[in-house]
Chain A
Amino acid sequence: MNEIMNEIEGIYAVWLREAKIYVREKERLISSVISPLLWIFGFGAGVGSTVNDISGYSYQVFIYPGITVMAVLFTSLFYGIYIIWDRKLDFLKEVLVAPVSRASVFAGKVLGGVTDAMMQVIFLLIIGLFINVPLTLPVAVAAFLMLLLISIAMVSIGLVIGANLQSPEGFSLVINFVMWPMFFFSGALFPVSNLPAWLAGITALNPLTYGVDALRGIILGINHFPIYLDAALMLLFALVAMGAGILSFRRM
């Protein structure tokens, strides 16, 4: 009992530190607000003016679920870079030498990253109301939960990469090779229903495709795969990513 309490307090301690720093480092907040705005208003509205409506929605609204997924993807994956800085500046040693399991340290870090990403999600949901995305309260809650699951998976992947690399430069390099293909081949910017076979094949292998599909189903009612399949695959992916994360933290 006491042991469990210790682990929970350990998770809380690691999370609290991340949350405090998130609030104090204004750059993190600002950048996480600016980039989705550019995508929705710059890209979505711009391209939307030359593209026909898709399934009865304007292009801007059609890509809204994809943009929220993208925002979560980018923030979550990039969060892994902080573990490299922590290690470089030796902040992490204090945590690694504490009588708290590595699984708890990992869980605390995941919660920290998820907090970052979900703050952004809340902001994006509010923006959605202003651009005529059909968001009711149940829809918003369901979307939030799905994005939470995606965020847990992606923060875990980012932390796995961060825990296994030594330099921030190396991290940026690797993460670009993970992030952009995941984003482009997820159907965030286009419907996955009538793609050429090779592209359909790649998107079907990309776990994020199911996240985007789920979200588009929840918000716009457009599903390519059954929603329970989307959710189940995303959950599976998150579990695998967390397992890899715990292993990586044990070796650190």
Chain B
Amino acid sequence: MVIKTEGLTKKYGKLTAVDGLNLEVNEGEIFGLLGPNGAGKTTLISMLCTILKPTSGRAWVNGFDVLKEPGMVRKSIGIVFQQPSVDDLLTGRENLAMHNLLFGVPRELRKQRIDEVLSIVNLEKRADDLVNTYSGGMRRRLELARGIMHHPKILFLDEPTLGLDPQTREHIWEYIQELAEKECMTVMLTTHYMEEAEQLCDRVAIIDYGKIVILDSPQTLKNNIVGDVVKLKQQSPDIDSLRKLDYVKNVQEKDGLLYLSIKDASKHLQDLLAHTGTIDFVEVRSGTLNDVFIHYTGREIREAEAEGGFWERMMKR
């Protein structure tokens, strides 16, 4: 177990941001925390990386207690914060050099490591420019380069691709996967992008109001919980009789449409339509993590409620 928490809790006055969390993350795993804005993801990560004290409960990172041995925890981890923390008035290279010193990278490896990560995030050409001339995406990439440069055993990524264009985002996913494999690094990342969690993570914990709602591999979550989704429109649907069908797992009505979670829709669609009778409209698709999320929370994670933090801060500079 590389990360373990027991009843980990953080309260801000009356608000419980992280609520009695029990969690175990295995070595070499890419573990996702998926949840809407305000779910408590950043708070959880801050406690794990020792910059925030838990209200109660315990946590171990790389076998070290976050409260009793914060120094050892810090030696084991790398982190990319949700809010950019690269230094504006230094160049990209200077930021990395400072990190080498702070994280005790052996002297003979320093230059090589800097060149290595710069090439990975494609910043070689701009490495000697001041960071305040970088775009938001470039800062993010520099931050990522910095987080992995000292080859941490565990890498925390708080919304690593927030505000990046799709191309860069996929590039970074690829890179995280490659690195996790090559270095046998454990990655814990938070996101509210469904595709990110689906494509990248070995296991995903859906987190809402500081609690874990469900935890499993994206594939299992999708197959077991939602399977396929059939969207139906019908004048006066008989929802109760639909629920009784053994291959129908769940029925939800929203905006005059019916959403049916169905095990193996290709096999059962004919039967389903025979059962419903005349319909105005039907659409079949495979379930996504979004459907899982809706299933458990009754809400949707919308891109629209994505945290403004990163961009707001970019604009203010």
Tell me the nearest residue of chain A to B91, going by C-beta. A20
Given A90-B81, A90-B84, A91-B85, also A17-B98 (CB < 8 A):
yes
Q: Residues of B contacting A101 with CB < 8 Å? A: 71
Q: Residues of A contacting B83 with CB < 8 Å? A: 90, 93
Q: Which of B101-109, B116-124, B180-188, B220-228 contacts A (4 or more CB under 8 A)?
A: B101-109
Q: Residues of B contacting A9 with CB < 8 Å? A: 101-102, 104
Within 8 A of B (CB), among A126-185: none
CB atoms of A13 and B81 under 8 A apart = no
A100 within 8 A of B: yes
Bound Cα distance from A96 to B103, whole angstroms: 11
B79 within 8 A of A: yes
Name the one of B51, B88, B89, B90 contacting A97, with C-beta atoms under 8 angstroms.
B51
CB atoms of A93 and B81 under 8 A apart = yes
Q: Mark B72-101, 1 if CB is under 8 A from A, else 0.
A: 001101010101111111100010001101
Q: Residues of B contacting A12 with CB < 8 Å? A: 101
Bound Cα distance from A47 to B275, whole angstroms: 102
B265 within 8 A of A: no
CB atoms of B79 and A99 under 8 A apart = no
Given A16-B98, A20-B90, A90-B83, also A99-B51 (CB < 8 A):
no
Bound Cα distance from A25 to B90, whole angstroms: 11
Name the one of B74, B81, B89 contacting A98, with C-beta atoms under 8 angstroms.
B74
Q: Residues of A contacting B103 with CB < 8 Å? A: 98-99
CB atoms of A24 and B74 under 8 A apart = no
Within 8 A of B (CB), among A40-86: none
B49 within 8 A of A: yes
Q: Residues of A contacting B5 with CB < 8 Å? A: none
> Chain A: how many interface residues by the 8 Å CB criterion?
24
Given A20-B94, A99-B71, also A94-B102 (CB < 8 A):
yes
B62 within 8 A of A: no
Q: How far, in Å, is A102 (CB) from chain B's closest CB?
A: 10
A112 within 8 A of B: no
Bound Cα distance from A7 to B88, whole angstroms: 24
- In the complex, which of the residues A17, A20, A98, A99 has the most CB atoms of chain B within 10 Å of its own CB atom? A99
A1 within 8 A of B: no
- In the complex, which of the residues B71, B86, B94, B98 has the most CB atoms of chain A within 10 Å of its own CB atom? B98
Tell me the nearest residue of chain A to B79, going by C-beta. A97
Q: How far, in Å, is A28 (CB) from chain B's closest CB?
A: 11
Q: Residues of B contacting A93 with CB < 8 Å? A: 51, 81, 83, 85
Q: How far, in Å, is A82 (CB) from chain B's closest CB?
A: 11
Q: Mark A98-113, 1 if CB is under 8 A from B, else 0.
A: 1111000000000000
Name the one of A25, A94, A96 contacting B89, with C-beta atoms under 8 angstroms.
A25
Bound Cα distance from A94 to B150, whole angstroms: 13
- In the complex, which of the residues A6, A90, A96, A101 has the most CB atoms of chain B within 10 Å of its own CB atom? A90
Q: How far, in Å, is B158 (CB) from chain A's closest CB?
A: 11
Q: Residues of B contacting A98 with CB < 8 Å? A: 74, 99, 102-103
CB atoms of A94 and B90 under 8 A apart = no
Q: How far, in Å, is B142 (CB) from chain A's closest CB?
A: 11
Bound Cα distance from A166 to B240, whole angstroms: 57
Bound Cα distance from A127 to B313, whole angstroms: 43
B50 within 8 A of A: yes
CB atoms of A20 and B89 under 8 A apart = yes
CB atoms of A17 and B74 under 8 A apart = no
A21 within 8 A of B: yes
Tell me the nearest residue of chain A to B76, going by C-beta. A99
Q: Residues of B contacting A97 with CB < 8 Å? A: 49-51, 74, 77, 79
Bound Cα distance from A89 to B90, whole angstroms: 14
CB atoms of B87 and A17 under 8 A apart = yes
A-B contact pairs, 9 of them (CB 8 A): A6-B104, A9-B104, A10-B101, A17-B94, A20-B90, A20-B94, A94-B87, A95-B102, A97-B50
Residues of chain B whose beta carbon lies under 8 Å from any beta carbon of chain A: 49-51, 71, 74-75, 77, 79, 81, 83-90, 94, 98-99, 101-104, 146, 313
12 other contacts beyond A9-B101, A24-B89, with CB at 8 A cut-off?
A13-B98, A17-B90, A21-B89, A25-B89, A89-B88, A90-B84, A93-B51, A94-B86, A97-B49, A98-B74, A98-B102, A99-B103
